[in-house]
Chains A and B, each alone.
Chain A
Amino acid sequence: MLAYVIRRLLIAVPTILLLIVASFFLMHFAPGGPFTSERPLPPQVLANIEARYGLDQPLWKQLWDYLYNIVVHFDFGPSFKFKDRDVNDIIAQGFPISLTYGMLSFIVATLVGVSLGIAAAIRHNSWIDYFAVGLGIAAQALPNFIMGPILILTFTLWLGWLPGGGWNGGQWQYLIMPVIALATSYMGSIARITRSSMLEVLNSNFIRTARAKGLPTRTVIWRHALKPTLLPVVSYLGPVFVYVLTGSVFVDIYFSTGGLGQAYVGSALSRDYAVLLGVTILYGVLTVLVNLLTDLAYAWFDPKIRY
């Protein structure tokens, strides 16, 4: 197990480094820097600005400084567009918001999806089973950017129950729609995975043995069937995390929650490479870490797997 953890860490570190270096070079070879405007700046002014952001240094020095600042100080440098803010400020402002509803939708979707899947498998071919299967299919056609407009249409425009956007310090009325929009799609996927996994487990020999011993159904399901059922779900949590990350970009834009996604798309449109890079690297690092954690959880969860 320890050797496996070390090996996985050894893959994770170069992945993160490669991500940073590759994005850095992409940014530098992109046409049209952040300071090219329709009215060209006098060369002296441009030179001053470039000196201010360290862009006059040789490329390897810039890369080294960038890497050094990230690794040692966790500092992504100044924003190119907003003169008085650096990338860390922007992340510190937006990330907690994205994290709040991201975590909430993660928890809601996992809990509801797993319960729905288990209920569907236990009551095979009942209405709840059909509902779970239907949701599983709909999940593929109802990603967040489809759910968002549908929710606003229903709850804000027609029923008038919920505010159509904003954050307001994270009051619950403002949280409901972002969480549902983000959660629905992969809640369906989780329900489908859990259902088929549970059906398979319920047909296996050790469950038959447990039943034959005369254990009550409740014990059979909770004590024996649940753990092996959840294995495929655990391995799906990595992709779910990526889904929440990218989905949060949509939610931030559409529901105006003020999260990091707004800064991300804004910087992509205005070519503020510093912010774009910072957020990409942050999300990439988080993804690598979460994948690492789910792999470890999987190894810990499944006694059959020995690394």
Chain B
Amino acid sequence: MFGKSQKAARLAETITDHTAIQGRSLWQDARNRFVRNKAAMASVFILGLIVLFTIIGPYFAVWNNEEIDWAVMGDVAGMGMPSIETGHYFGVDDLGRDLYSRVIQATTTSLLVGLIGAATALIVGTCYGIAAGYIGGRVDGVMMRFVDILLAIPATLVIILLLVVAGRSFFMLFIALGAVGWLTMARIVRGQTLTLKNREFIEAARAAGVSEFTIMYRHILPNLLGVVIVYASLLVPEMILTESFISFLGLGISEPYTSLGRLIAEGAGTMGYGTLWQLMYPLAFYVTIIITMFFIGDGLRDALDPKDR
């Protein structure tokens, strides 16, 4: 009498697995690829910590960002050192203000600038690109020529010009950053739209009597999302960089607001007086944010656009 061998039984079971195979969507695939990317996941974690720090950090602050600590003001290099006892965890800046609170404020500003600037660019660029690509023909030609012309002018100079002319303010900064950021986005979206609009499913939608606007919104836009997200994620650190550069020159955000670029500029101006922490804390935050954001952007690109490696 031969008992069924266990191995054969197991094999049979594997072969006759009756559960239906769960289909995997593009987004699930992308998520799996992203989660497997160690550098990107570590970056998400670190960036998350920084964001958390900007939210929780203020509750631990002893001094707020505008108060001047008169006690240490006369001796910033000595008594203004980073220390737990005085409550200045990151030391004080040149005017005797608490650097810990200032760094939190600056990090929040820089992150906001990156996000809102990129979001503006994303919305404007996507709408413009879809319109140009979908309408096509002469309209497309004129619209893209306009973009070409604007792209030919150095973006930083345009931002500086806009800020000088319209006055320096938070609102204007976002407008100016968005005004130069959307151009490349529009180009990318237009190219994608051109390849999409002749595909069968668009033709099917049109044959079914779907209106042009609905086709753009319901059928083309979702298929663009991958490319748009990847580019937007790379745009965020670029916005932060540009803003920091302009703020470093003193042409960006002005007091009482501050950003990491401004703090780095202040720290760089006083590093000869033995107050190195004024440079190092903002610099560390800045470099960490930029590097993690680039890793996340790269991870997203690998995850959402597997052909393009």
Contact = CB atoms under 8 A, between A and B. Distances in A.
B268 interface: yes
Contacts of B261: 145
22 contacts: A15-B153, A23-B161, A26-B161, A30-B164, A30-B165, A31-B167, A140-B237, A141-B286, A142-B287, A143-B245, A146-B286, A149-B283, A153-B279, A242-B154, A245-B154, A249-B156, A250-B248, A265-B250, A268-B164, A268-B251, A276-B161, A284-B157
Interface in B135-189: 145, 148-149, 152-157, 160-162, 164-167
Given A152-B268, A246-B157, 16 more contacts: A14-B149, A26-B165, A30-B164, A143-B241, A145-B265, A149-B268, A149-B283, A153-B276, A245-B154, A246-B154, A246-B156, A253-B249, A265-B250, A284-B157, A287-B152, A291-B152
B290 interface: yes
A30 B166 contact: yes
A137 B164 CA distance: 33
B26 interface: no
A224 interface: no
A31 B169 CA distance: 14
If over half of A's interface residues share one DSSP class (helix, strand or loop), that class is named, otherwise mixed; here it is: helix
B290 A140 contact: yes
Interface in B225-277: 237, 241, 244-245, 248-251, 261, 264-265, 267-268, 271-272, 276
Nearest to B234: A140
Interface in B279-297: 279, 283, 286-287, 290-291, 294
B169 to A, nearest CB: 12
B264 A149 contact: yes
Contact of B279 (A26, A149, A246, A249): A149
B294 A140 contact: yes
B291 A27 contact: no
A269 interface: yes
Contacts of A246: 154, 156-157, 245
B271 A145 contact: no
A92 interface: no
B153 A287 contact: yes
Given A245-B154, A276-B164, A287-B152, A265 B290 contact: no
Contacts of A268: 160, 164, 251
A19 interface: yes
Contacts of B268: 148-149, 152, 254
Contacts of A254: 268
Nearest to B245: A145
A250 B155 CA distance: 15
A104 B132 CA distance: 41
A280 interface: yes
A146 B161 contact: no
